[in-house]
Amino acid sequence: MALQHASSGQVFALQRGDEDGAQFSSIALAKTDDLELIRLVLPAGKTMPEHAVKGEITLQCLSGEITVDAHGRTATLHGGEMLYLAGGTPHALAAAADSVALLTILLKN
């Protein structure tokens, strides 16, 4: 069965009260030819090794604390903060605390 993405105008929860913050999960909320929205749950200590995404991205920390290594420095995001990266920028993530984030990827450049 294919994953059902949100449709235009549909409301979906970015944070859920029944969340198990100790389990990593990545859920594609919506995807079009131009854009992908992904909800990430990152438990404390979870890392994502350095990688790059072709399109421009934003990472919005909804709760917790996420460190992002990019451009030769480390930025720390807390709930309510967001980071933009140009397409192709190598970056790595680490959750310093149980965290929830919204990742937006621009697929067409």
Confidence grade of residue 53 (pLDDT, cut at 50, 70, 90): very high
pLDDT, mean of residues 36-62: 94
Indicate whether 19 belongs to any domain: no
Q: How far is CA 38 from CA 31, 71, 72, 104, in A?
A: 9, 23, 25, 6
* pTM (two decimals): 0.82
How confident is the model at residue 45, as a pLDDT? 95
Indicate whether 58 belongs to any domain: yes
Q: Which domain holds residue 73?
A: 25-106
Indicate whether 2 belongs to any domain: no
Q: Residue 88 is part of a domain; what is its CATH number?
A: 2.60.120.10
Query: For a pLDDT cut of 70, what percent of the chain falls above it?
Result: 76
Indicate whether 39 belongs to any domain: yes
Residue 1 has pLDDT above 50, yes or no: no
Indicate whether 33 belongs to any domain: yes
Indicate whether 85 belongs to any domain: yes
Number of folded domains that form the chain:
1
CB atoms within 10 A of CB 15: 12
Indicate whether 6 belongs to any domain: no
